[in-house]
Amino acid sequence: LITIEVAAGARPYPVWIGRDLLGQAGALLAPFARAGRLVIVTDENVWAAQGERLVAGLGSFRAEPIILPPGEASKSWPALEQLIDRLAALGVERTDHLVAFGGGMIGDLAGFAAAMFKRGCPYVQLPTSLLAQVDSSVGGKTAINTATAKNLVGAFHQPAAVLIDTAVLGTLPACELHAGYAEIVKYGLIGDPAFFAWCEAMGERLLAGDEAARLHAIETSIRAKAAIVAADERDTEGRRALLNFGHTFGHALELESGYALLHGEAVALGMALAFRFSARLGLCPPAAADRATAHLAASGLPTTLPSDCAPERLLAHMGHDKKAAGGGLTLILTRGIGQAFLARDVSEQHLLTFLTAEAAGR
């Protein structure tokens, strides 16, 4: 069992990482249960694939699952309202801990419900997708989407604990595994060139199921995220913003594809674009952009714009991204592998010229 402390929020909280931790869920979650009960928020896929293991691991605790439809559509006002009504109907108190058992969608939605319900109740994260295990379950950002933008409405609300069981990845669809891997590569690309080199050497084995590689990548990712979150919990000093590398492009691509692209896939393509745009601006050696792109592509992730993509619309979506400040765009760009930085006042004209060339395959 690996334990990492995250120093954020009212008190530090533990992240436990290991294989078959669901089997120990009863012991690990005992401090968070009230009157022998745990209220679990999950989605249909996760419950069908892993619900039995969790119930078995909880032993004598009563698990009361609230099971929502899977998919990004559940990160919405109507789903949040239904969830809050269910919590009320179950008699959940402000001292109860919700248990977010699922991928980033469930983590963001249940975390936001916890932040609001009875003015805030605690919650625990049990992330089941690779993306949630290396990124979204730690750091306390919770949100839902609106028609205007992804994650437009939310709150900072740190979990009381995070329990990461690598065994649950056994039922995760392959495309979701690859999408989550993009966020692992991100930590190397933004600030850790040695870890990026490790990804180049070990990524294929990790994706194929190598347990030691998965544990190492999850631990390295969570340590990197924990350090950044501790330094800039509320995302005000630019440090935490680096975690959004590839995300302004990525959110625009997700929206433009009607969410046909998975979040991690959009981020992979967004990171490749951020590298090539940085190279075009003369900020980063073209060889570094080629190297980053080559590894993402070799990992089965998209790295080029689809030919039917309209550059003007992409640019408009990027302008809507909540990270854009007045004037030019604020983007995370890079000077090389492991050297991402926050660039303010990026010229929209340069960006449009770049996107037009990319869409034309140049």
Ligand X SMILES: NC(=O)c1ccc[n+]([C@@H]2O[C@H](COP(=O)([O-])OP(=O)(O)OC[C@H]3O[C@@H](n4cnc5c(N)ncnc54)[C@H](O)[C@@H]3O)[C@@H](O)[C@H]2O)c1
Cβ proximity to ligand X: between 152 and 294 the closer is 152
Angle at 40 between CA 251 and CA 50, to 5 degrees: 80
Is residue 165 close enough to count as binding ligand X by CB under 6 A?
Answer: no
Distance between CA atoms of residues 20 and 1, nearest Å: 10
Across 109-200, where does the E strand assignment appear?
Answer: 123-127, 141-144, 153-156, 161-165
Please answer whether residues 359 and 311 qualify as being in contact, where contact means their C-beta atoms are separated by less than 8 angstroms.
yes
Is residue 351 close enough to count as binding ligand X by CB under 6 A?
Answer: no
User: Which 3-32 positions form the footprint of ligand X (CB under 6 A)?
Assistant: none
* Candidate residues 168, 207, 337, 351; the one interacting with ligand X per rule CB under 6 A: 168
Query: 285: which 2 tokens?
Result: 């050696």
Nearest to 338 by CA among 183, 221, 188: 188
Is residue 176 close enough to count as binding ligand X by CB under 6 A?
Answer: yes
* Candidate residues 18, 23, 57, 102; the one interacting with ligand X per rule CB under 6 A: 102
Is residue 192 close enough to count as binding ligand X by CB under 6 A?
Answer: no
Q: What are phi and psi of 249, to 5 degrees?
A: -60, -45
Written as one string, the DSSP assignment of 1-58 is: -EEEEE--SSS-EEEEEETTGGGGHHHHHGGG-BTTEEEEEEEHHHHHHHHHHHHHHH
Is residue 276 close enough to count as binding ligand X by CB under 6 A?
Answer: no
* Candidate residues 178, 214, 240, 263; the one interacting with ligand X per rule CB under 6 A: 263
Q: Which residue is nearest to ligand X (CB)?
A: 104
Taking CB under 6 A as the binding criterion, the range among 70-78, 114-122, 198-206, 296-304 that sits at the site for ligand X is 70-78
Residue written as token pair 């619900």: 51
Is residue 271 close enough to count as binding ligand X by CB under 6 A?
Answer: no
Angle at 331 between CA 327 and CA 332, to 5 degrees: 155
Kindly state the smallest distance separating residue 36's Cβ from ligand X, in Å.
Answer: 26
Is residue 293 close enough to count as binding ligand X by CB under 6 A?
Answer: no
Distance between CA atoms of residues 306 and 299, nearest Å: 18
Angle at 81 between CA 79 and CA 87, to 5 degrees: 100
Cβ proximity to ligand X: between 75 and 291 the closer is 75
* Candidate residues 64, 72, 210, 235; the one interacting with ligand X per rule CB under 6 A: 72
Cβ proximity to ligand X: between 130 and 288 the closer is 130
Is residue 105 close enough to count as binding ligand X by CB under 6 A?
Answer: yes
Kindly state the smallest distance separating residue 262's Cβ from ligand X, in Å.
Answer: 6
Nearest to 123 by CA among 42, 52, 192: 42
Please answer whether residues 182 and 133 qualify as being in contact, where contact means their C-beta atoms are separated by less than 8 angstroms.
no
Query: 4: which 2 tokens?
Result: 């990492």
Cβ proximity to ligand X: between 50 and 334 the closer is 50
Is residue 75 close enough to count as binding ligand X by CB under 6 A?
Answer: yes
Cβ proximity to ligand X: between 106 and 274 the closer is 106
* Candidate residues 125, 129, 248, 334; the one interacting with ligand X per rule CB under 6 A: 129
Angle at 76 between CA 128 and CA 305, to 5 degrees: 75
Cβ proximity to ligand X: between 186 and 291 the closer is 186
Cβ proximity to ligand X: between 151 and 354 the closer is 151
Query: 70: which 2 tokens?
Result: 């899977």
Binding mask 33-62 for ligand X (x = CB under 6 A): ----------x-xx--xx------------
Nearest to 135 by CA among 189, 80, 182, 194: 182
Taking CB under 6 A as the binding criterion, the range among 99-107, 195-203, 271-279, 351-359 that sits at the site for ligand X is 99-107
Kindly state the smallest distance separating residue 285's Cβ from ligand X, in Å.
Answer: 29
Q: Residue type at 149?
A: A
Contact footprint for ligand X (CB under 6 A)? 43, 45-46, 49-50, 70-72, 75, 102-106, 108, 128-129, 131-132, 135-136, 139, 141, 150-151, 168, 171-172, 176, 179, 263
